[in-house]
Structure 1
Amino acid sequence: MFTTIDVQLNETILLGKIICLSLLCMLSLESIVFSLMIRPIKRTFLNDQPSLHDLRLSYKQTHRLPILSVYRIFGPHLFGFSIPAMAMSYIYINNEMLPFPLYYVGIAFGASVLIAGMHAIIEFFLATKAIQPILVYIRDQSQNLYDVDFSHQSHIYISIQKKVLYSAIFIGIFPLLLFSLATHFRFTEASIPLLTEYWSWAVIVLVVSILFAFYGAYLLFHNIAEPIQTLEDAMQQIQQGNLVYQKDVYSDEFSKLISGYNQMVSGLKRRDKINKQLLDSLFTTLALALDARDPYTAGHSVRVAKYSVLIGEQAQLDMETLDLLRKSALLHDIGKIGIRDDILLKDGRLTDEEFNEIKTHPVIGATILSQVQPKVEMDALIPGVKYHHERYDGLGYPEGLLGEDIPLFGRIMAVADAFDAMTSDRPYRKGMPIQKALAIIEEGKGSQWDPKYAQLFISYMRQNEQLASDQLKKSV
């Protein structure tokens, strides 16, 4: 803009003095503001043992530095320079020491705002890059000193939409406006009588350019935001336990991100499959190991699990519930490891005292499972283990629960456990035929067993008697 104005040497020196004095004012004011901005961060770096509060405050302040830099540019930086410059220019123009129209001061301020906008954009992105090692250091300090990871918390101080919008507008409009102002000065200095006509079409060009900048920024934002939102939704699905692949419909760097995400999902699925197999094997092994104490009850827990799942399928329980039911049934007698062998393996009839000890195994089993970690995974299995000997009429044990007060798994497993006990051989008796066992269960509906689940089991077994008989022989 200076190159378009005819300035004498003494006027150039005077303008240089204005700029130098304004720069001093700006740097003094900006240094104060910048010191206040970095004070929480500085305190963390100067302290060998910063508190968790100081670390959290400095971590948050570091994240805010890019947007604070924008405020600093439009605050002390812009006005710390412009106000002194405008004031001194106004004085010199009024004293005829500078031969410029007074409205040049206003135009110069407008140009300063434009330059400050571009400066702020550049400062923002440079600051965003510069703060990264600081954030890593603070996060490492919080982990090492207090075992707290700040990176698990999301921090959004300025949206992508605003970054794209403001950047596109300033980048698109900045050169046009400066060129328009410079041309205005050239026409004014050359006394070319075209200013009115010039601004009539210049304004149209500027308006159209602004509209294109807005629309371009809108398209660019949505082009970037859509795949980001897709990945964000996908990550929320993963947090809820839903491992879902995403369709790759992109032709830019986001294609790599989607591909990486899908590879991550594949890895998680493989890991979950292996973990599930290991866990299932563990439950089955525990059940078989427990049954191995008594050769006459070998396979009992596995069969009870099969019968329980069969009843659950007839009741149309969902797959997740059926899986939990099967695991609970596999471990339903785990408490018997706390029963003495001379009682558990006794051939003859148990005394009342011995039977009372046997009756403690559901509580022992629930206590054992309550100690297994992670606790949240075991909590769903405990009700079936603890209450599979409760009776529907309230005469069971360990708590004498009545009717539907008995947990679902307990009511289902009670039917399955009783049926297998009746149809399996024991040292003191031969296993009874399937139809006789079913008749006993039918007679005990509503008293010993839940009538709904007992009837579902009876109906299935009678409709599939031959299949049930073959499965029983195979299990035994």
Structure 2
Amino acid sequence: MLVYRKFLRDLLRNYMMGSGIAVLVVGGVIISTTLTITGTEMLRVFIIMILSLCVMMFAEFLIFRRHIRPIREMMRHKKPSLETIRAAYLQTHRFPALSVMRIMGPHFLGLSIPAMTMASLGVAWGWLTLPAFYIGLAGIGAILIASMHALLEFFTTAQAIRPMLIHIRELGQQIHGEDVSLDGRVIVSIQRKFQLSAFLIGTMPLFLFSLATQIRLSTSVDSSQLIADYWKWAAIILLLGVGFSSLGARLLASDIQQPIEDLHRVMKQVQSGDLKVRASDLYSDEFSRLIAGFNHMVKGLDAREKMNNLLLQSYYATLAAALDARDAYTAGHSTRVAKYSLLIGQSVNLSEQELDWLYKTALLHDIGKIGVRDAVLLKEGRLTDEEFEQIKRHPDLGESILKQIEPAEAMAPLLPGVRSHHERYDGAGYPDGLKGEDIPVFGRIIAVADAFDAMTSDRPYRKGMPVEKAMAILADGKGSQWDPRFVQGFMDAYKA
């Protein structure tokens, strides 16, 4: 409701600002600088303008109530239907165009018809000593002023509706899980905006100057006085025209610049790898089509990225399964180690990206055993020193194998953990004899998970030990074989 109230306040503020600039400032200055009438008649002219403004505002209020109804209807309900939300979203997009219709309809007619009628009566009854053709010129001036107001109102309303559009889209997501948008629909084309805006910006000063000159010439009888006063009122009229043109050009540029900047910002997020982001569909011109196409493209990239990730996950799982298939008694070892490693990673609050890399590293931690002969790898009895040296080569072999896989940057995060998962916290491990914090984080985590699975899994020559005993051994090895932090994290996570 706060967003809706702010929306109404912004619309009222913009309307009063546009009316003030177009009607009171421009119209008032033209009248006061071009008409040579008495103070009493000037007061009567302004009374006519004020009365006409009251008629105009009442007519506009009635039309505005009808225009705002779909949005007000949505705000009346805590959980509006999807159809109500979509109707409000479309109507909000239409508000800039509707504001022009109000200005050129009840605004223009509600002001000009009463004003011209009262002025004609004033001339007929002798209250005003104005030539009759002035009323016709006033009608032309009213069209010019209404056009100026409509231009200002269109662009200021286009800015005011954006917070409301964002709020409506959020409602659609929160209540119905739907992304409400125009889906490429064009309410007002860029071509029409440019044509009409450029026409008004370019010709309005000329029309104003011509109209003011016509009135001024018709009221001046002394040529010397006309020359003396010329630059005074001409400068005022020209300054008004230039000011209006500058303001209109600024609003037009902002209307085009805003969606470009929004789209560029989202493109940078996509470039950085965020494929969940979507450009906000807050525009009712051809930018709506552009943004709809952009969002469709990013959605497709996201779907392809998910597919690629699934393929990669399957690839890693297939490699791990192929390795485990060499020995029926260690089947599932890599998958279990990956699961235990993930528990540890979550317990120490690794990021989502780090958890993904950790899981893949754990799946492939023993990939180097592919290079170990079956006679050694599958031997049931005690290994000789030479055979154990062959086994100890598998972390280094695993790193070498993964380095051959392209793209290299996809494998790079996995290499340290694969190489270091047999390092010991006290420095007595292999292949590099690293110690403490010098051991890569993934290596220290996988070492705990690998040891636990090895202790609790059955082997041909022994039965897997109970979980409680394995946990006790891990606890005893804190600070010597394993990182105390990751041992404790695993024990807490496994119990939970």
Distance 1:429 1:203 in 2: 104
Equivalent of 2:254, from 201, 215, 222? 222
The answer for the alignment partner of 1:205 in structure 2 is: 237
| Correspondence for 2:268 among 236, 251, 272 | 236
Offset, 1:197: 3.2
Number of the residue aligned with 1:109? none
The equivalent position to 2:408 in structure 1, one of 369, 375, 380, is 375
Of the three residues 463, 471, 475, the one matched with 1:430 is: 463
Q: Which residue, out of 373, 376, 383, partners 1:350?
A: 383
Give the superposition deviation at 1:337. Answer: 0.9
C-alpha distance in 2, partners of 1:426/1:226? 67
Task: Quote the Cα distance in structure 2 between the aligned partners of 1:169 and 1:341.
Answer: 86
Determine helix, strand or coil for the equivalent of 2:481.
coil
Q: Distance in 2 between matches of 1:328 and 1:172?
A: 70
Matches within 5 A, 1:3-18: none
CA distance in 2, matches of 1:196, 1:446: 99
| Letter of the structure 2 residue corresponding to residue 212 of structure 1 | F
- Please tell me the residue identity of whatever aligns with 1:450: D
CA distance in 1, matches of 2:335, 2:203: 72
Q: Check 1:230–1:256 CA distance in 2 against 1; reply closer, same or farther (3 A cut).
A: same
In 2, Cα distance between equivalents of 1:367 and 1:383: 11
* AA of the residue aligned to 1:214: S
Summarize deviations over 1:144-182 as a string: whole Å, max 9, x none: xxxxxxxxxxxxxxxxxxx99xx89994589679989x9
Rounded to whole Å, the distance in 1 between the matches of 2:420 and 2:386 is: 21
- Within 2, Cα distance between the matches of 1:356 and 1:195? 109
2:485 paired with 1:419: no
Q: Deviations over 1:356-383 (max 9, x none)?
A: 0111110111111122222111111111
Superposed CA offset, 1:281-304 (max 9, x none): 110111001110111111100000
Counterpart code for 2:378: L
8 Å contact from structure 2 (residues 208, 237) kept in 1? no
Counterpart AA for 2:257 = A
Cα distance in 2, alignment partners of residues 414 and 405 from structure 1: 14
Supply the AA of the counterpart residue of 1:210. Answer: V
Structure with more relative contact order (C-alpha pairs < 8 Å, separation 6 or more)? 2
Which of 439, 448, 468 aligns to 1:406? It is 439
1:340 to 347, 367, 373: 373
Task: With the length of structure 1 as denominator, give the TM-score of the two structures.
Answer: 0.58
Aligned counterpart in structure 2 of residue 327 of structure 1, from 351, 360, 364: 360
C-alpha displacement at 1:460, in angstroms? Answer: 3.0
The amino acid of 2:444's aligned partner reads R
SS in structure 1 at match of 2:447: helix
**Cα distance, 1:258 vs structure 2:** 1.6
User: Which residue does 1:274 correspond to in 2?
Assistant: 307
CA–CA distance in 2 between the matches of 1:260 and 1:436? 60
Structure 1 vs Structure 2 CA RMSD: 2.8
Contact (CA 8 Å) 1:173, 1:206: kept in 2 or not?
no
- Residue equivalent to 2:91: none
Q: Which residue is 1:47 aligned to?
A: none
Question: What letter corresponds to residue 316 of structure 2 in structure 1?
Answer: F
SS of the residue aligned with 2:257? helix
Q: For residue 222 of structure 1, report the CA deviation from its aligned partner.
A: 1.3
The counterpart of 2:319, out of the listed 286, 294, 302, is: 286
Aligned-pair CA distance for 1:320: 1.2
Matched positions, count: 294
Q: 1:236 to 1:168 in 2, by over 3 A?
A: farther
**3-state DSSP of counterpart to 1:380:** helix
Letter in 2 for 1:426: R
- Structure 1: gaps (5+ residues): 1-162, 465-476
**1:68-217 equivalence runs, <5 A:** 171=202, 194-217=226-249
Question: CA offsets per residue over residues 428-467 of structure 1, 9 Å max, x none?
Answer: 2111111111111111111000011011112333x34xxx
**2:424: which partner in 1?**
391
Helix, strand or coil: the match of 2:321? Answer: helix
1:78-98 CA distance string (max 9 Å, x none)? xxxxxxxxxxxxxxxxxxxxx
| Cα deviation, residue 192, structure 1 | 6.2
Deviations 1:231-277 (A, max 9, x none): 01000110111121122121111111221121112111111111111
2 CA distance for matches of 1:176 and 1:219? 21
Instruction: Say if 2:357 and 2:413, in contact at 8 Å, map to a contact too.
Output: yes
Q: Deviations over 1:101-145 (max 9, x none)?
A: xxxxxxxxxxxxxxxxxxxxxxxxxxxxxxxxxxxxxxxxxxxxx
For the 8 Å contact 1:173–1:210, the answer to whether it is kept is no
Q: Distance in 2 between matches of 1:377 and 1:168?
A: 56
Unpaired runs of 5+ residues, structure 2, are 1-193
Q: Distance in 2 between matches of 1:384 and 1:267?
A: 33
Rounded to whole Å, the distance in 2 between the matches of 1:241 and 1:192 is 74
Distance 1:195 1:386 in 2: 94
Rounded to whole Å, the distance in 2 between the matches of 1:172 and 1:449 is 82
Match of 2:286 in 1: 253
The within-5 A match list for 1:21-100 is: none
Fraction of identical pairs, as percent: 57
- The counterpart of 2:298, out of the listed 240, 260, 265, is 265
Is contact 1:169–1:217 with CA below 8 Å preserved after alignment? no
